[in-house]
Structure 1
Amino acid sequence: MQKTLLHSLAFALQANAASVVPLPELKGPYRVGTSVLELVDSSRTDPFAPGVRQREVIISLFYPTQEEAEKCTLAFQFPPLTAAFIDGRYNDTNASAERILTQSCIDSPLSHPELPLLFFGPGFSNSRTYYSAALEELASHGWNIIAADHPFDANIVEFSDKVLYAKDSTLVNGTADQYLEVRVADMKFVLDALSDPAIVSRIPGLSAATSSPSSRLQTDKVGAFGHSFGGATSLQLLANDTRFAVGANFDGTLFGAVVEKGTDSPFVIFGTNPRMVDDSWPTGWKNLRGFKRQYAINDTEHGSFTDFPIIRDILGPDSPPLLNNGLGIIAGERIIDIQTAYVDALFGRFLKGENGELLDGEGSEDWPEVSLVGKN
């Protein structure tokens, strides 16, 4: 009943074209599709859930597609109850979050399984949907991307038949390491699931019967990146599972054993400028033994690495005042372009065998907001 109601709300809103607020057109060479999978890890009991239940994870996929434009139905950025949660949080009487339309086609076929997989982790308490504009832009440049929600860590996680809230977690005053352990396990579970034919067959365009390596998702060597706590998770994943081969952190304090033990895998840190003091970075940086870079981006704050700057900009005068807290003054489209350029260069070098010249400074004049503050 709830699933039917939620879908009815979404379709009714989409029919009201005059109220829709679209995200900018994508700049990469690929049209992008998106799909959502709900996964159950039968090997784990959820440590945060009231009662005894198996751990559940929900993911969004963003990927290149060859869907014809006339067959494409664009996805709204936020599912209905998540949108209402955001509007309430920012005291938005215009119901803006309910009207943000992405540039990704709902459930269109994934057309390039041979392209590398990237795993994205949101900031602590954040929904994966807070980053859809940045992720679909990156996908348009030739990446298959997985964004995961972590129930009872994110403030709200909306499944098709239920909504889970962090406020209902049984973990009171939990440590960062406790949450990190669960996040790492979630990501490893999702990667395992994407090698399971029964799961893969639920992804539009893919079949459980595919036998050619080029027809399967590339799960042997993947990238990991994230914002805030998602960035910390990415670094720990590199240490815990060799399939996660290269990573990036957008303004996240580092946690976990990896800070002291380090890793040989390539890793890049992006931070704000004016720079915040983060005591974990000097230790973590010292113990990065492989390729490493650290960049600072002018006019940013911690929230600049979410989609809220671009949402602020496209809403213009209708943007709720509370939304602008902690976003910096950098333009939303510009910060997404910066992230796309540097992330594409990083993962392109280590997952596609490209040169990634931008990492060595070539073309950096196009990005004057970005300063190199550390390298090996």
Structure 2
Amino acid sequence: MAAVAGVLALTASIAWASPAAAAPTTPYLPKPTGPHRVGTTTLHLTDTSRSDPWVPAAKTRELMVSLWYPTAAHTGRRAPYVTPKESELLLKGSGIKELETIPPDGLSRTRTNAFTDAEPSGRRRSLPLVVLSPGFTWPRTSLTGLAEDLASRGYVVAGIDHTYENFATTLPGGRVATCAACANVNDDDFGQKVIRGRAIDVPFVLDQLTGPRPRWKGSALIDPARIAMAGQSIGGAAVPETMSKDSRVRAGINLDGSLFLPIRDSGLARPFMLMGAPSNDGTWKRDWERLTGWKRRLVVKGALHPSFTDYDMLLQQLGVSLGSGLKATRSVDITREYVAAFFDLHLRGRPQPLLDKPSQRYPEVRFCTPSAKNC
């Protein structure tokens, strides 16, 4: 199940690693590369139409959603990365001995770039919306570096915590939901159940952001005709199923996620990009021909499963090496550039030479097809 559970994949990659020589006291996310400052806020959304798939006693499905967006604010309180308790549960839940060298609150010290509850800026219906779905056991904040960068480029970004599918989700009143779904990882249909559940969560969130009674004060800035989705690990695997269920999602990216639920036989004609670490994942080969629209498959040399989140970079800063070939901020830099290029092309219609052929700026990134030897 290592490909399903992000932390299990992390375990596999770190087994032979060693602590770095030294670590700074304050881990940080690199500055966003776009022209806008970034604001962020949190929404608590409740779907009263269904019970929770992992805790049936919970008669409603509660979701925590972080929004990142452009703002004109020059000052403000920097948003926390995670709470100390979330950091503790995430590090402890991994079961990785090497992470014991990190203080329990280590991830909560991470310096972000977004201002909490800053006033959103933009014209009515001017901003594309990107939904981000994290890997199993990892929270929505694991993709903060990517989210901040997209927001700085003029996107609204919605990161979803799929409750009970990660080690810690803080709910209103200080309640902390832990990983109830982890008890089911050995079930034969586990990956498919996670994907199908996320393909319900995402449309619900879209309804709450773009429907007739939106839950966010900046919702009028969102262009409902320009919505896309990206996800990491099983969050990426959930993207094609979500697109098949909801035509509002115009384009999608799978960041290193095995496709436990095959793309439907009818195919997916909307733009799609597969981007991941070198592997022999047969599900990507299996479903390649079912992607019938614009498509790319990119392999990043030196990347590991966590390299498409903040964690490859942050754990290096905290003194733990996963054995990644992408040092310093390189993993985040590459992910940001290629993800932004994809969305700029398909949501804004801006030509992107970066997606046409290999780049000298990013020699780690290989273009491949299932028959290519460099995949």
Same fold (TM over 0.5): yes
TM range (shorter): 0.7 to 0.9
What corresponds to 2:209 in structure 1?
194
- Match status 1:370 vs 2:365: yes
What corresponds to 1:138 in structure 2?
150
CA distances 1:175-229 after superposition (whole Å, capped 9, x unpaired): 21111111110001000111245443x44xx37xxxxxxx442223311111111
Once the 2 structures are TM-superposed, how far is the Cα of residue 81 of structure 1 from its aligned partner?
1.7
Sort the Cα spacing of 1:51 and 1:370 in 2 relative to 1 into closer, same or farther, 3 A: same
- Match status 1:115 vs 2:127: yes
CA distances 1:87-136 after superposition (whole Å, capped 9, x unpaired): 43432237311211201100101213511000111111211111212221
- Match status 1:180 vs 2:195: yes
Once the 2 structures are TM-superposed, how far is the Cα of residue 37 of structure 1 from its aligned partner?
0.4
What corresponds to 2:45 in structure 1?
39
What corresponds to 2:139 in structure 1?
127
- Match status 1:226 vs 2:236: no
Sort the Cα spacing of 1:57 and 1:222 in 2 relative to 1 into closer, same or farther, 3 A: same
What corresponds to 1:338 in structure 2?
334
Letter in 2 for 1:111: S
- Match status 1:270 vs 2:283: no
> What percent of counterpart residues are identical?
30
Task: Trace 1:1-376 onto structure 2 (pairs within 5 A).
Answer: 20-69=26-75, 72-89=76-93, 90-91=99-100, 92-93=102-103, 95-112=105-122, 114-161=126-173, 162-167=175-180, 173-174=186-187, 175-196=190-211, 198-200=213-215, 202-203=216-217, 206=218, 215-272=220-277, 275-315=278-318, 319=319, 321=320, 324-325=321-322, 328-361=324-357, 364-374=359-369
Per the alignment, in what secondary structure is the counterpart of residue 81 of structure 1? helix
Query: So what's the TM-score if we normalise by structure 1?
Result: 0.83
Distance in structure 1 (CA, Å) of the matches to 2:74 and 2:165? 38
Once the 2 structures are TM-superposed, how far is the Cα of residue 159 of structure 1 from its aligned partner?
1.3
Report if the CA contact (8 A) 1:23-1:314 is conserved. Answer: no
Distance in structure 1 (CA, Å) of the matches to 2:37 and 2:228? 21
Distance in structure 2 (CA, Å) of the matches to 1:95 and 1:57? 24
Report if the CA contact (8 A) 1:63-1:140 is conserved. Answer: yes
Distance in structure 2 (CA, Å) of the matches to 1:219 and 1:244? 9
Once the 2 structures are TM-superposed, how far is the Cα of residue 260 of structure 1 from its aligned partner?
3.8
Q: CA RMSD in A?
A: 2.3
Structure 2: which 5+ runs fail to align?
1-23, 94-98
Per the alignment, in what secondary structure is the counterpart of residue 45 of structure 1? coil
Structure 1: which 5+ runs fail to align?
1-17, 208-214
Could you say which structure has the higher strand fraction? 1
CA distances 1:223-259 after superposition (whole Å, capped 9, x unpaired): 1111111111111112111101101111110132525
Distance in structure 2 (CA, Å) of the matches to 1:134 and 1:159? 23
Letter in 2 for 1:78: V
Letter in 1 for 2:113: Q
Distance in structure 2 (CA, Å) of the matches to 1:126 and 1:86? 8
More off after superposition, 180-189 vs 251-260: 251-260
Distance in structure 2 (CA, Å) of the matches to 1:196 and 1:38? 16
Letter in 2 for 1:271: G
Could you say which structure has the higher helix fraction? 1
Per the alignment, in what secondary structure is the counterpart of residue 374 of structure 1? coil
Letter in 1 for 2:347: L
Sort the Cα spacing of 1:270 and 1:21 in 2 relative to 1 into closer, same or farther, 3 A: closer
Report if the CA contact (8 A) 1:87-1:93 is conserved. Answer: no
Q: Where does structure 1 differ by over 6 angstroms across 4 or more consecutive aligned residues?
A: none
Distance in structure 2 (CA, Å) of the matches to 1:38 and 1:60? 9
